[in-house]
Amino acid sequence: MKRILFTLMLMLALPVLADELPDYQIEGAGTGSQGTYLVRVTVLSKKSKVTDDEIGRCAVHGVLFRGFANKELRQQQKPLAGSALVEGQHKEFFEQFFEKDYVNYYQVVNGSRQVVKAGKQYKVTSNVTVAKDQLRKDLHEAGVVKSMNYMF
C-alpha cells in the first residue's frame, strides 16, 4: 500500500519538478559570436542565492519559447522553437530536456552577475551565452522543430 502511495506521489511530483521554472525576464545583451545569442536574464526570487544553473535554464527556455528584444540595442529575435505552443506540443521531450540536456547549451558570462533587492524579492541578473545554432540543430534532429530543408 505504501509503495503504491509512494509511486503515485512520485508520478504526480515529477512533471511539476520538470516544469518548475523560476519567474524570469529575458532581453538581448548585444550581438553574440556567430552561432550564439547573448542574453541578459533576470530571475525574480525570494532568496538571493540563485544558481548559475537556474539562470542558464531560464536563458535556454527564454530563447526557445519567448524570444527576446532590446530597444536600446535595437535587437529583436523570435522564439527559436517557433512559439510557446511548441512546448505543449512536445511536452514529454521538453520535460526531459529541461531535466538535464539544457546544460549543454548555455554559458553564464563570468563577472556579469548583479543582485538587487526589490521589495520582498531579489532580482538576480546575469549575461548568458546560448549556443542557438547547436540547439536548433539538435531540435531538428530530434524532430521537434522542422528544419528549413525538411521538405526538399
Site residues (CB under 8 A) for another protein? 30-31, 34, 72-78, 80, 82, 132-133, 146-152
Cα 20 from Cα 11, distance rounded (Å): 15
* Closest separation in Å from C-beta 124 to another protein: 25
Cα 44 from Cα 115, distance rounded (Å): 10
Task: Give the residue with the Cβ less far from another protein, 50 or 80.
Answer: 80
* Closest separation in Å from C-beta 59 to another protein: 16
User: Contact at 8 Å (CB) between 27 and 39?
Assistant: yes
Task: Give the residue with the Cβ less far from another protein, 22 or 35.
Answer: 35
* Closest separation in Å from C-beta 36 to another protein: 10
Task: Give the residue with the Cβ less far from another protein, 45 or 75.
Answer: 75
Task: Give the residue with the Cβ less far from another protein, 38 or 124.
Answer: 38
Task: Give the residue with the Cβ less far from another protein, 19 or 133.
Answer: 133
* Closest separation in Å from C-beta 57 to another protein: 22
* Closest separation in Å from C-beta 48 to another protein: 31
